[in-house]
């Protein structure tokens, strides 16, 4: 390190990525990291980097021999302050790939602010580096242009969110990070209480109950960009701690909330990407989404959907199909544009994949040279063949996969998964589109075989459809909820519902979920009490902020849009969390750790 210190004379006068013709002939001071060093014929060229970009700086011994000599010791990622004069690059040496590529800075002097240890990976080539290594050295990974862009886009999205919702009459309210554990949803992260030995807080999975209480408290419109915690198995779009845009509104119906979110989304895409989204977004009920696309978060960029072909096969001599129909089952089909080029081996592969997903088998058809081909064609006369082609919307060169099964939902979901996989493998996804969709009218409950009871599909505070109230006791599985999800390109980016504001209705829902009056009061007594003091009709929605930013950035994982994510074992490989703690700390918390012997 140099004896000279960083002072006001060495503070930047311009960011590296902002050097342009307006500065030609002027003396500037740059602060940044040395990204690349080249020594060509005695002249040393450096690329100096900061978050705004890079600029070339030149050290010529004829300009200052002593400064040039000192520069020979510089290495990658050294932190420098550089003083010099902006000039145009010599003709033929311009770099049009860089915003600063027409300009360079002739160095008069530089100050070494901090050296760098040898790098574990080259930052410019870090896209191809193992993610674990990058996460271990996240401070280096964050210097990548991609990561800087992702974090700054995230900031712009958060800034727009606060501005938009504030203009819509929302107030930002912070809710507790230390709350009580609830039985629904994923596992809680528990925090022992030192001052209440044997008792535990839970980190919030969402601020659900608190935001409803804010509505009871007269806040009318609340929002929060809030941290949430769930102790669950991780995937590309999940983390143990994540951020959501949380909001709740009083005296509203579904239409108010869906309109608000469409306007917010349109504004966000315009602000961040300068893209104009078409509105209104299409809507499908949960049942329609499953029936057409085999998913409750369908990707509408895929140009084909499932079709019902039961009527084509009724009364044929295909015994397996007739047995399914007699048992009240379904026969559905998945058309595949261009699928007539699939070989026998390819068709067998699709069938094997279907069987791995739970199908007994898939019957393939191909339309080639104007004729329908396939092992079951012999069971269909010309009329039925034409009917099948028309029902599936087949064109010359297409294929069709038919599945018969006793379960409508299983059939839809298997064909829906195959739809995704075949579209991706055959490049049939229209990557140029932003395909938004509202999915509504989800089931209120689904049966949990392990717990032998009904559980809430969303959460137990979701209001049922008015026409399904009687089903809460008589047929819970058929009751629909006033819930809605926002889907983008096959990813659920948000979800919400109109909430229950009648304490008697809330008690009925708890009863349907298997809670006794006593257990419901033990768990949710403070909410039930609050509901009894004049609760306005209200509803809300939470958007997965990490997922939104991931999609806006075109990233493959939310880890790419979070500054310090965990890996798929919920570990921070940079800091070493989680880790063991001192025995004294455990004693103060009245906690004992018993680990099984290995």
Q: Which residues are annotated as a binding site for L-aspartate?
A: 184, 230, 458, 499
Sheet containing 363-368, strands listed edge to edge, beginning at the edge strand earlier in sequence: 307-308, 330-336, 399-405, 363-368, 371-373
The whole-angstrom separation of Cα 70 and Cα 340 is 68
Report the 3 state secondary structure along 132-186.
Answer: HHHHHCHHHHCCCHHHHHHHHHHHHHHHHHHHHHHHCCCEECCCCCCECCCCCCC
The whole-angstrom separation of Cα 155 and Cα 417 is 35
The whole-angstrom separation of Cα 355 and Cα 363 is 12
DSSP, res 580: -
- Report the helix count and the strand count for the chain, using DSSP H and E: 17, 22
The whole-angstrom separation of Cα 82 and Cα 34 is 11
Alpha helices in 304-381 (DSSP H): 310-313, 319-326, 344-357
Quote the tokens at residue 227.
Answer: 């941290």
The whole-angstrom separation of Cα 59 and Cα 47 is 11
Q: Give the long-range contacts of residues 308-311, CB within 8 A, separation 24 or more.
A: 308/332, 308/333, 308/391, 309/333, 309/388, 309/391, 309/392, 309/402, 311/387, 311/391
Residue positions counted in the chain = 598
The whole-angstrom separation of Cα 322 and Cα 316 is 7
- The answer to whether the CB of 184 falls within 8 A of the CB of 136 is no
Element (H, E) at 498: strand 491-498
Is 97 strand, coil or helix? coil
CA-based R_g, the chain, Å: 31
Quote the tokens at residue 77.
Answer: 């990622």
Q: What angle do CA 564, 569, 572 make, to 5 degrees?
A: 30
- Burial string for 55-91 (b: 16+ CB within 10 Å, else e) reads bbbbbeeeebeebbeebeebebbbbbbbbbbbeeeee
Alpha carbon separation from 93 to 89, 96, 104, 154, 376 (Å, rounded): 6, 10, 10, 35, 67
CA dihedral 571, 572, 576, 582 (to 10 degrees): -70
Known binding residues for ATP: 230-232, 239, 492, 544-547
Q: Are strands 53-59 and 103-114 parallel, antiparallel or unpaired?
A: parallel
The whole-angstrom separation of Cα 58 and Cα 41 is 12
Conformational region of residue 183, where left means phi above 0, alpha means psi within -120 to 50, and beta covers everything else: alpha
DSSP secondary structure string for all residues of 44-65: EEEEEEETTEEEEEEE-TTT-H
Known binding residues: 184, 230-232, 239, 458, 492, 499, 544-547
Asked if the bond preceding 578 is cis, omega within 30° of 0, the reply is yes
């Amino acid at each position: 390190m140099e004896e000279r210190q960083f002072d006001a004379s060495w503070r930047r006068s311009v960011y590296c990525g902002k050097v342009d013709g307006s500065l030609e002939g002027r003396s500037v001071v740059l602060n940044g990291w040395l990204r690349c060093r080249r020594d060509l014929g005695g002249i040393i060229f450096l690329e100096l980097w900061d978050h705004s970009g890079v600029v070339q700086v030149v050290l010529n011994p004829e300009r200052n021999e002593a400064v040039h000599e000192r520069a020979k010791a510089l290495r990658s990622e050294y932190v420098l302050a550089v003083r010099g004069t902006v000039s145009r690059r010599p003709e033929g040496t311009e770099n049009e790939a860089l915003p600063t590529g027409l300009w360079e800075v002739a160095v008069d002097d530089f100050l070494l602010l901090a050296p760098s240890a040898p790098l574990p990976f080259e930052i410019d080539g870090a896209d191809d580096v193992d993610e674990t290594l990058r996460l271990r050295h996240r401070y280096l990974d964050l210097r990548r242009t991609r990561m800087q862009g992702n974090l700054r886009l995230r900031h712009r999205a958060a800034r727009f969110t606060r501005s938009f919702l504030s203009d819509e009459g929302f107030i930002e309210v912070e809710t507790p990070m230390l709350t009580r554990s609830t039985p629904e949803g994923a596992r809680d992260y528990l925090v022992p209480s030192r001052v209440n030995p044997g008792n535990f807080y839970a980190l919030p999975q969402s601020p659900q109950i608190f935001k409803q209480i804010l509505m009871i408290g007269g806040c009318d419109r609340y929002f929060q960009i809030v941290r949430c915690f769930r102790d669950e198995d991780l995937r590309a779009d999940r983390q143990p701690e994540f951020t959501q845009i949380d909001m709740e509104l009083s005296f509203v119906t579904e239409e108010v909330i869906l309109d608000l979110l469409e306007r917010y989304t349109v504004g966000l895409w315009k602000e961040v990407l300068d893209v104009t989204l078409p509105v209104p977004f299409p809507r499908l009920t949960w049942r329609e989404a499953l029936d057409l696309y085999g998913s409750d978060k369908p990707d509408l960029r895929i140009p084909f959907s499932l079709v019902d072909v039961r009527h084509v096969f009724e009364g044929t001599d295909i015994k397996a199909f007739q047995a399914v129909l007699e048992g009240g089952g379904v026969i559905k089909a998945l058309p595949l544009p261009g699928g007539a080029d699939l070989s026998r081996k390819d068709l067998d592969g699709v069938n094997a994949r279907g069987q791995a997903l739970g199908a007994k088998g898939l019957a393939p058809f191909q339309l080639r040279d104007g004729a329908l081909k396939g092992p079951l064609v012999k069971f269909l006369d010309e009329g039925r063949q034409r009917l099948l082609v028309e029902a599936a919307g087949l064109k010359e060169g297409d294929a069709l996969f038919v599945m018969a099964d006793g379960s409508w939902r299983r059939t839809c979901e298997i064909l829906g998964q195959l739809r995704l996989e075949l579209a991706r493998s055959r490049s049939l996804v229209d990557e140029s589109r932003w395909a938004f969709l509202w999915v509504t009218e989800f089931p209120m409950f689904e049966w949990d075989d392990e717990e032998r009871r009904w559980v809430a599909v969303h959460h137990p505070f979701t209001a049922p459809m008015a026409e399904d109230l009687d089903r809460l006791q008589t047929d819970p599985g058929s009751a629909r909820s006033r819930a809605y999800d926002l889907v983008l390109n096959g990813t659920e980016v948000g979800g919400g519902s109109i909430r229950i504001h009648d304490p008697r209705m809330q008690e009925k829902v708890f009863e349907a979920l298997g809670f006794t009056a006593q257990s419901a009061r033990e768990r949710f007594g403070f909410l039930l009490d609050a509901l009894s003091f004049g609760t306005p009709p209200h509803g809300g929605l939470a958007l997965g902020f990490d997922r939104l930013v991931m999609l806006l950035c075109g990233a493959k994982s939310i880890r790419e849009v979070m500054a310090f994510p965990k890996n798929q074992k919920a570990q921070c490989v940079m800091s070493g969390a989680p880790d063991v703690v001192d025995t004294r700390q455990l004693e103060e918390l009245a906690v004992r750790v018993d680990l099984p012997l290995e």
